[in-house]
Each structure stands twice: as structure tokens, then as C-alpha cells.
Amino acid sequence: MSKTVSAYAATSATEPLARTTISRRDVGPHDVAFDIKFAGICHSDIHTVKAEWGAPNYPVVPGHEIAGVVTEVGSEVTRYQVGDRVGVGCFVDSCRECENCVAGLEQYCTGRGGMRGTYNSVGRDGSPTYGGYSQSIVVDENYVLRIPDAIALDAAAPLLCAGITLYSPLRNWKAGPGMSVAVVGLGGLGHMGVKLAAAMGAEVTVLSQSLKKMEDGLRLGASHYYATSDPDTFKKLRNSFDLILNTVSANLDLGAYLSLLKVDGTLVELGMPEHAMTVPPFPLAGMRRSLSGSMIGGIAETQEMLDFCAEHGVTPEIEVIDASYVNEAYERVLASDVRYRFVIDASTI
């Protein structure tokens, strides 16, 4: 039987999120149903509900950093059982047949329906998807992750988006000893980038708007910390980095950041601001630098990231909040006043 559960939803770009009810589908043969215990607040939730990426399909129930405990499994499910600690990230299905799906890059699915987002998307059954700001969810077992025992459920939630979004490019560009990595923006994504890059053995520099969070940045694993509001920073750090991970949710002067790369260095765009940014040719061509981008990670890589975090003791710094605080939390994220991820206690939904 489909189930009615409480959720927090946005009904327009300007109204605050409010409590509502949504329906969760029947548990199919390949489905896992779980009680959501915690859901992280990602800046992408805010871009979406504020229609900064185009008009979403309201009501939007955001949340793609979801951790909980299995309550029911379908008859054909082999990987999970009732009581297991599980998570779901940014997508709940994909075509499973295209070149990218077969390669474990489901986030770049080019097949029919593409990657089906955890919210503001359409499921295989044709109904709208609703995310983690809710009491429970039903997801195909192939898109469910196992949360290692060493990671508490509240800390596990942000790994499902912020964690994998930084882990994937760090692995792709082979971060490790001898590599100089800069993380731009010390928010939800950025602080995971610092922790993960340090755990992989890279030398990490934080580039933040001010020095306000310097003590935190150094504690999280950075060796250096600079304020980007200080023009001297860009003079001093010219030609310094092998890899720059830009996690900023707003437009930056990309040319200024490109010029901080060494020859053959790469700037990976992870932030998804509302408006386009321009790329000046000289700082790019002048040192054979590259500009790239990266989006979350595939299912197998997300599981690898969770296991890596358990092994290396890498967990996000979180502030657990009641669901009724969600609108204030959004304001604080927008003011860069988050240390470093808000996580909703789903029992308060």
C-alpha cells in the first residue's frame, strides 16, 4: 500500500518551506523502503526551490543527502534487509543501459529518462520524485548505499552529496602526496574537500572570502589559508596549484583563479551558480591550463567514498536542526554562515 508521510515542501520560489504530506509508492519487488533519520541541506536545494536553475515542478520536497534505517524490502531484493543503515544521494534511478551507466557513471546517464533526481524529477513510474525532507522514502535497491557502522547516521547524510562531489574529482585528478590542491569556498562542499584531500595525502590550501574560518580550515586539514578579498593573495599564489576545486555557489572571476594554476593544472568547477561565468582565454592558454567540471559521483564510487570515510575517520562537521528551522537555515547558508552543514533531524518532520 502506498503510504502518506509528512514532509517539508516549497510551493513557490518566494514562500517559505512548510509542512505538508506526500505519498510514497508501494514497495515493489526491487525496492527498499526506509525511515529517514537525517537529511542534509545542500545549497542545490536552495538553488532549486528559488528557481535559480529554472522553474522547478512545485511542490518541491528537497533533500538529496538522506540517511536512515530499512523498514521493508521487496521480494527480489538481495542486498538489503530490515534494520540496515542506508543512504540515498542525488539520484534514485537511471537508464542502466547507456555507456555511462554501464561504466558506473550513472550521474552522466544519457539514456531514456536520464539520471532521475531524488527530487524535482520524475521516477520510472512517471510520478514526481520527492526528496529527503520527509519521514520515509522508497528507492530501487540499486540506488541505495550502505552506511558503514563507523559513521553515525547524522554525519553520514552530507556525505551522500557534499562528500561524493568532492571525492570524485579528487580521485579523477589523482589527488595524493606531492599534489597541491586548493579548495575555493569553505562551506558544505568545501570543508569536505579539505578533509578528503588531506586524507588522501595532498597539500591543501583554502581560498575563502575572509580569514574568519581560518582556524577551522587548518583544523580540518588545510596547510594554508588565504582570503580572496585580499588582492595580494592572487599575486602571491600565481602558478601554485596542480588542482583547484571551486565550490562557490556564486560567480567568480575565473581568470583570476585560473592564473593560480601551474602549467597543466586544472580548475574543476563544482559550484553551480545561477548565472554563466566568462572564461578569459589568456590565463587558460598561457600555461596550458584546463577548466573542467564534475557532478556528484556514480553509485559504486559513492559506496567507495563511504567506505573510505569510515576507514579514514572522515566525517562532516554538522549542525543538527529541527525541521521547523529549515527556512532560517537557508538564510544562514546564503549568508555563508554554516559550519559546515545543516542536517535536519527527520523525527521533527
Find out whether 63 and 40 touch, Cβ atoms under 8 Å: yes
Residue 98, binding choice from Zn ion, ligand NAP, none, Cβ under 5 to 8 Å by partner class: Zn ion
Q: CA quadruple 7, 8, 11, 12: dihedral positive or negative?
A: negative
Site string for ligand NAP, 309-328 (x = CB under 6 A): --------------------
Judged by CB under 6 A, the residue of 100, 249, 266, 302 near ligand NAP is 249
Site for ligand NAP in 46-65 (CB under 6 A): 47
Judged by CB under 6 A, the residue of 271, 283, 298, 316 near ligand NAP is 271
Binding segment toward ligand NAP, per CB under 6 A, in 68-76, 142-150, 185-193, 234-242: 185-193
Q: For 262, which DSSP code?
A: E
Residue 305, binding choice from Zn ion, ligand NAP, none, Cβ under 5 to 8 Å by partner class: none
Residues in CB range of 233: below 8 A, 6 or more apart: 207, 226, 227
Rounded Cα distance between 296 and 24, Å, is: 25
Find out whether 183 and 204 touch, Cβ atoms under 8 Å: yes
Rounded Cα distance between 258 and 255, Å, is: 5
Per-residue exposure over 320-337, b if at least 16 CB sit within 10 Å of its own CB, e if not: ebebebbeebbebbeebe
Binding segment toward ligand NAP, per CB under 6 A, in 43-51, 196-204, 254-262, 278-286: 43-51
Q: Which candidate, 245, 304, 328, 300, places its Cα nearest to that of 41? A: 328
Report the nearest approach of ligand NAP to the CB of residue 271 (Å). Answer: 4
Residues in CB range of 58: below 8 A, 6 or more apart: 9, 10, 11, 12
The 3-class secondary structure across 163-183, one letter per residue, is HHHHHHHHHHCCCCCCCEEEE
Q: Which candidate, 233, 280, 238, 279, places its Cα nearest to that of 261? A: 238
Decide if residue 268 touches ligand NAP (CB under 6 A). no
Decide if residue 296 touches ligand NAP (CB under 6 A). yes
Decide if residue 246 touches ligand NAP (CB under 6 A). no
Comparing CB distances to ligand NAP, the nearer of 123 and 298 is 298
Decide if residue 247 touches ligand NAP (CB under 6 A). yes
Comparing CB distances to ligand NAP, the nearer of 42 and 323 is 42
Decide if residue 161 touches ligand NAP (CB under 6 A). yes
Comparing CB distances to Zn ion, the nearer of 44 and 302 is 44
Report the nearest approach of ligand NAP to the CB of residue 107 (Å). Answer: 8
| Phi/psi at 180 (5° precision) | -105, 115
Comparing CB distances to ligand NAP, the nearer of 33 and 39 is 39
Judged by CB under 6 A, the residue of 137, 248, 305, 344 near ligand NAP is 248
The residues that touch Zn ion, with contacts defined as CB under 5 A, are 42, 44, 94-95, 98, 101, 109, 111, 161
Find out whether 231 and 213 touch, Cβ atoms under 8 Å: no
User: Which SS3 state, helix, strand or coil, does residue 18 take?
Assistant: strand
Decide if residue 160 touches ligand NAP (CB under 6 A). no
* Residue 149: Cβ-neighbour burial (10 angstroms; 0-12, 13-18, 19+): exposed
Decide if residue 291 touches ligand NAP (CB under 6 A). no
Decide if residue 86 touches ligand NAP (CB under 6 A). no
Footprint of ligand NAP (CB under 6 A): 42-44, 47, 161, 165, 185-190, 208-209, 213, 247-250, 270-273, 294-296, 333, 336, 338
